[in-house]
Chains A and B, each alone.
Chain A
Amino acid sequence: GESVGLHLPTLSVQEGDNSIINCAYSNSASDYFIWYKQESGKGPQFIIDIRSNMDKRQGQRVTVLLNKTVKHLSLQIAATQPGDSAVYFCAEILDTGGFKTIFGAGTRLFVKA
């Protein structure tokens, strides 16, 4: 079935360290994968996306890695800052004529000062 899940529900890191948030997905037909950040009381915000024909994409302080062989997605945050504390969701987009987006359960990132 369609499902996107995360390996770790919570992650605690020291300020300045790198963070790695993992995600497993089950639908090999997905066309895109997106990482979202959600701060308390707000809607999710786009961080970075990656097409299914790519294995790596870099943004500002973030890198997304896609391993289609094991259906695994990760988000790496460099030099984690207190403002990075939030819940992070991975999502897969199925191009079924509407680009239905299925979200995983989320990982809460705590950044210790």
Chain B
Amino acid sequence: EPEVTQTPSHQVTQMGQEVILRCVPISNHLYFYWYRQILGQKVEFLVSFYNNEISEKSEIFDDQFSVERPDGSNFTLKIRSTKLEDSAMYFCASSLVAGETQYFGPGTRLLVL
């Protein structure tokens, strides 16, 4: 069964460093998403992406964040200058078309020291 994959599973970085989280969505899906979950808190929407453009973004997704689909398979989330409060689980998701069921990856646990 097709699934969303994410790498790395864990990432430890120093405050102020740049990190790139990678995702491989389900192959025929066209919409891609990033969510995050700070420890003990709700899963929060960050951004959705379609046709090489951001479709929607939340207030959390400020100028420190960017997304890219650098090739036909990967979808990345970059945090330019990490802060302590960026420590969280980051989940990638994809859906066939807008509004359809979203399928999530296993997540990347980011720890900013």
| A, B assembled together | no
